[in-house]
Amino acid sequence: MTDWPANEFENMSLEPVVGESLVPRATDVGQRVLLIVRVELQVMS
């Protein structure tokens, strides 16, 4: 298990959150999480 989630959430909390940019940011983070999970699954299998 790598430490990428902690770093990602720290970066998010440090940035000023604007209502309009919140949804795109959440979507971007979600896509990144899915990509990382997919890569980890490929490495494990």
Q: Are the CB atoms for 25 and 8 separated by under 8 Å?
A: no
- Residue 28: what pLDDT? 86
Place of tokens 């720290």: 10
- Give the amino acid at 27: T
pLDDT tens, residue order, the chain (45 aa): 455 555 555 555 555 555 566 677 778 888 999 999 999 999 987
pLDDT at 44: 85
Residue 25 has a pLDDT of 73
Per-residue pLDDT at 37: 93
- Which residue type does 35 have? L
pLDDT of residue 33: 92
